[in-house]
Structure 1
Amino acid sequence: MTVGGSGASAAGAVVVGEALVDVLPGGPRGTRELPGGSPANVALGLARLGRPVRFATRLGADRLGALVAGHLRASGVELLPGSTDDGTTSTATAVLDASGAATYTFDLEWRLTERAARAVADSPPAHLHTGSIAAALPPGGDTVADLVRAARAAATVSYDPNLRPALLGPPGAERDRVERLVAAADVVKASDEDLAWLYPGRDPEQVAAGWATGAGPALVVLTRGARGAVAFGRRARAEVAAPRVRVADTVGAGDAFTAGLLAGLLAAGLAGPAGAARPALAAAAGGPRLAGAVAAALEQAARVAALTCAREGADPPTAAELAG
């Protein structure tokens, strides 16, 4: 079942976070420069699934910045004012292993201009999504945390830690920041690799379940690569299988999953203006079973991620491709 597209709710989203260029060296076509960055990928995925989405980021006024901006706009993402400055656009050089899984070396700077931050604050979103480098790396991470706190009164919030250990301190130094953002979110998506790094020696599923039974998110989803995902509500646990595809690479797969999940929740009114969506999500995810619109959104997320894995780079499907 596809639950994205125009759906029951016209609620839009604002995504806040980094945009960069994934550099994929080698291969039959030589080095490739592909637009990426976790929040940028989520914004792209939402737009391709038919959701109105605005994006606050930081791009340089250079060739790579123009490449990223054109890529996003071509799929319907609205870049908020102030998202381009005079610096250079960040890059992430990917190295793929035999299974197509990617690790990255980063050359980046993350900050949000005052103009971009003001654009978010002056036009409050129905839903705000953030995560990854944007929520972790100073000075931009502090601005993101402030925007999350301000948005919560009127909007639902989603957060994906999408941790990049090469850019972070030791796990113990990162936990408080991650846990504060988890507590401020309504929906959290994390990978088993994220939680294994953040909580050494602990079962990632137990960590995710604990987040869902605390005072923060109503829905926590733990992705596990080819083993699919497991979702937790206040009292429920549900597994989501990963559809079988021929994997080209896994670049952007987790972000595609997030976009598919959020598109489904937005369409069902389980994300959006906080006064209606927050209690609706709490009711839908708070019982003994994750069923109905939540289950459909999870299934859609898995399909969106699988279709992205079947293509090179962070290239999520459109609503038409998902339905086809």
Structure 2
Amino acid sequence: MNPKFVVFGEALTDFIFEGDGLWRAVPGGSCWNVARVSARLSLATAYAGAVSTDNFGDDLTRLAREAGLDMRFMQQVARPPLLAMVPSKTPPQYFFIGNDSADQHFDVDQLPQGWVDDLEIAHFGCISLVRQPLAAKLVQIAERIKAAGKRICFDPNYRNLMQDPAYRATLQRMSELADYIKVSDEDLEHLFPGETLAGALGVLRQWAPKAWVLLTRGGDGMTLITPQGEVSRGVYKVEVADTVGAGDASMGGWIASLLNNPDAPLETHLNYAAAAAATVCRQHGAYAPTMAEVEALINA
């Protein structure tokens, strides 16, 4: 049996500047984070991507295995690692190192036989949809999955690489394919410069009129917008260590709730998204929360 949820995209190592010339290496990557979160929330999940065969790739592979991911989908190739340099955490600043790195050598033909048949939702997002030739390959995979009658979720998760004018067509195409879109107010500001928040959201809704959209607003809460109506809620009040990976956790929590509890009301799905994000904010780095931690917040 293959997993219901497959996450495509980048896994990388964040090098975070801590001051005094010190950099801290932390396994991460938006798509890899989403996969780990949903797996820890009891959803049969795979991360479909390629990492290096050095210590950086080994750490990503080990943590993926520990999260309970289906390891048949994750590939290690003898190419350099993809690195994200984070010279500032507040406000977040990134640049990336890794021309012809391992992520570019992901081979969809190596995935298990029949994986599309068992799939219910596939996730795509972040810099994997900017970095060519991987980006074009992933759009083709998404189109194939959609043509097979499966669902797509998409998190653009803005990074400065998306200032490339060529990305606009990818943003629109992935939005058109998507059944579920997570986007933050900051994402919309950068992805649709010159637009108001309402105007940017309006463009997204024109591209994807039937999609469910999870709009996150940092400490101001989140709203789940669907053709059947919308619900909003504030954040769970926790002591914040940092917000690294909180958006990825809200995505993973949302999809885990959708697939684990498909008949639940919208409020339930929103609660899982918010509680997963809040649990991550209690930790340093891109933490993958357990179901017990998330439900403890919801039921408090």
Aligned match of 2:25: 33
Distance 1:83 1:311 in 2: 28
1:134: how far off?
A: 1.3
260, 282, 295: which one pairs with 2:267? 295
Distance 1:121 1:212, change over 3 A: farther
What is the letter of the counterpart of residue 258 of structure 1?
A: M
What is the letter of the counterpart of residue 90 of structure 1?
A: L
State the identity %.
30
Distance 2:198 2:261 in 1: 26
Question: Is 1:48 matched with 2:43?
Answer: no
The answer as to whether partners of 1:222 and 1:229 remain within 8 angstroms in 2 is yes
Deviates more, 1:209-218 or 1:66-75: 209-218
Cα RMSD (Å) of the superposition?
2.4
Distance 1:246 1:27, change over 3 A: farther
Distance 2:207 2:95 in 1: 35
What is the letter of the counterpart of residue 263 of structure 1?
A: A
Aligned match of 1:222: 215
Distance 1:236 1:201, change over 3 A: farther
Distance 1:121 1:226, change over 3 A: farther
The answer as to whether partners of 1:174 and 1:198 remain within 8 angstroms in 2 is no
CA deviation profile, 1:121-145 (whole Å, cap 9, x unmatched): 8411221011011122210011110
- 1:58 is paired with a residue whose SS is strand
The answer as to whether partners of 2:252 and 2:273 remain within 8 angstroms in 1 is yes
The answer as to whether partners of 1:212 and 1:234 remain within 8 angstroms in 2 is no
What is the letter of the counterpart of residue 158 of structure 1?
A: C
Question: Is 1:314 matched with 2:286?
Answer: yes
CA deviation profile, 1:179-206 (whole Å, cap 9, x unmatched): 1101101000011111111111212244
The structure with the largest strand share of the pair is 2
Aligned match of 2:227: 234
1:112: how far off?
A: 4.1
1:1-324 matched pairs, under 5 angstroms: 12-26=4-18, 31-81=23-73, 83-98=75-90, 101-108=91-98, 109=101, 110-114=103-107, 116-119=108-111, 122-124=114-116, 125-152=119-146, 153-165=148-160, 167-170=161-164, 172-212=165-205, 215-234=208-227, 236-269=229-262, 292-324=264-296
Distance 1:315 1:74, change over 3 A: same
CA deviation profile, 1:207-262 (whole Å, cap 9, x unmatched): 32553465554201111111111222226332221112222111111000100100
Distance 2:206 2:234 in 1: 23
Distance 1:118 1:302, change over 3 A: same
1:309: how far off?
A: 1.0
Distance 1:258 1:212, change over 3 A: same
The answer as to whether partners of 1:213 and 1:233 remain within 8 angstroms in 2 is no
- 1:145 is paired with a residue whose SS is helix
Q: How many residues align?
A: 289
- Extract unaligned runs of 5+ from structure 2: none
Distance 1:245 1:126 in 2: 33
Aligned match of 1:277: none
Aligned match of 1:279: none
What is the letter of the counterpart of residue 120 of structure 2?
A: A
Higher relative contact order (CA 8 A, sep 6+): 1
Distance 1:215 1:102 in 2: 29
The answer as to whether partners of 1:182 and 1:217 remain within 8 angstroms in 2 is no
Task: Using structure 2 for the length normalisation, give the TM-score.
Answer: 0.88
Distance 1:206 1:37 in 2: 29
Deviates more, 1:180-189 or 1:154-163: 154-163
- 1:133 is paired with a residue whose SS is helix
Distance 2:59 2:89 in 1: 26
Distance 1:312 1:189 in 2: 23
Distance 2:163 2:86 in 1: 21
1:27: how far off?
A: 6.2
1:173: how far off?
A: 3.8
Task: Using structure 1 for the length normalisation, give the TM-score.
Answer: 0.82
Distance 2:24 2:208 in 1: 44
Distance 1:136 1:12, change over 3 A: same
